[in-house]
Amino acid sequence: MISADRPATRLATRLSFLVAGFGMACWAPLVPFAKERLSVDDAVLGLLLLSLGIGSVVAMLATGILIARHGSKPIIIAGGIGLALVLPLLVIAGTPVTLAIALLAFGAALGSIDVAMNIHAVEVERAARKPLMSGFHALFSIGGFAGSAVMTALLSFHLAPLACALICSVLMLITMALAWPRLLRSAQAQDGPLFVLPHGIVLLLALLAAVTFLIEGAMLDWGALLVIGTGLVSEAQGGIGYIVFSIAMTAGRLGGDAVVARVGDRATLVGGSLLAVAGLAVLLLAPSAATAIAGFLLIGLGASNLVPVLFRRAAMQTAMPTGLAVASITTAGYAGVLVGPAGIGFIAHAVGLPTAFWMLAALMCLVTLSARAVTAK
């Protein structure tokens, strides 16, 4: 069996995160083409996009069970190859039904590799006996930047969407081929129960993951509307805040392992959550565009290492098998991204978007208050 504490296994883990972020981001620039090709309105498009989320959540729940028996390697391989094979199908789907089916499959591949690569990362970090999780998650963010940039660049050269998708698929397949022989053969395979309802500390970890992912989803879906609505920036400049947030989060994760090694998980959770709360306050009270951008920067830096720490604590708990615990946390986090922004919309409609964001700050305080319980062991 390949040792988990090797440069090769770390590289394979990083490549898996890179492919997951790259594949997910490749789809975003293709959405307008799908809408035009199918001649659907925004409501129908929204329902179609929901298929991706449904496929992801269902796959996440099943992946924990599969990994409990077969380990993470075959799931990572299947998920990465699945993303590469299904991406071109998203471009050629000619009816809403076929696109919905393709999005379900794409979401299933994304959900599968998401859970499996985090479980693999837990095993590699545990063997290394030093923090590595933040760096792994940074590669997901870098993959997202790369996927969006490569697909957009190819489309800007007036290549057909199918040709662009095929080129990106080939890049993912090459990357998975590099990762394949370096992945651990049986990471997290176990003889315990195939399914365990989340309980104990895992429930708390799942809740905190949902809150943290909700903040990230809110920055993507509502951040621009907040600063535009307050008159701080024009519509054309609305996306600058999220760009700064994303860069700050990626930078924070690239340096996160060193920070965690120095101050520990508890201080990282407390400091990061308080920094994110401060960033939300700065954003909401900002008198100028520059101050609001500084708020986005603080939120990104503060939130960057919260999720990696939560995954690490999932590996250290004993309430339930590690693979099933990581699957539960990943599913809860993804649910926060899917359901949370819609909930923010309902709250914003009732009491205003700024009030909804103050509620997000209050939710982030749960991470601060729970840090001692999460890191008690």
DSSP notation for 172-228: HHHHHHHHGGGS-SSTT--SS-S-----THHHHHHHHHHHHHHHHHHHHHTHHHHHH
What does the pLDDT average to over 182-197? 63
Q: Is the pLDDT of residue 87 over 90?
A: yes
Distances (CA, A) of 21 to 18, 113, 137, 159, 254: 5, 10, 9, 23, 15
Q: How confident is the model over 273-280, as a mean pLDDT?
A: 96
pLDDT grade, residue 236 (50/70/90)? low
Q: How confident is the model at residue 2 (pLDDT cuts 50, 70, 90)?
A: low
Task: Tabulate helix, strand, coil % of the chain (nearest 5).
Answer: 85, 0, 15
Contact 1, 122 (CB under 8 A): no
**What is the longest distance spanned by two Cα atoms in the chain?**
59
Give Cβ neighbours of residue 363 (< 8 Å, ≥ 6 apart). Answer: 211, 214, 215
Nearest alpha-carbon partner for 38 in 25, 48, 53: 48
Q: pLDDT class for 186, splitting at 50, 70, 90?
A: low
Helix locations, 71-200, DSSP H: 73-92, 96-128, 133-156, 161-179
CA quadruple 269, 275, 278, 283: dihedral positive or negative?
Answer: negative
Question: Residue 191 above 70 pLDDT?
Answer: no
Handedness of CA 333, 53, 121, 147 (dihedral sign): negative
Question: Per this entry, what is the length of the chain?
Answer: 377
Task: Give 3-12 pLDDT, tens digit per residue.
Answer: 677 889 999 9
Given a cut of 60, is residue 86 above it in pLDDT?
A: yes
Contacts of 311 (CB under 8 A, 6+ apart): 118, 121, 122, 133, 326, 329
Per-residue pLDDT tens for 365-377?
Answer: 999 999 999 988 6
Buried b (16+ CB within 10 A) or exposed e, 174-199: ebbeebeebbbeebbbeeeeeebebe
Q: In this predicted structure, what is the pLDDT of residue 49?
A: 79
Closest CA to 208 of 42, 346, 375: 375
Is residue 363 predicted with pLDDT exceeding 90?
A: yes
Residue 101: how many other CB atoms lie within 10 Å: 16
Euclidean distance between CA atoms 208 and 225, whole angstroms: 25
How much of the chain, in percent, has pLDDT values that exceed 70?
94
- 42 pLDDT higher than 80: no
Cβ-proximal residues to 144 (8 Å cutoff; 6+ apart), any chain: 21, 22, 24, 25, 246
**Three-state secondary structure call for residue 317:** coil
Average pLDDT over residues 16-31: 90
pLDDT, position 193:
54
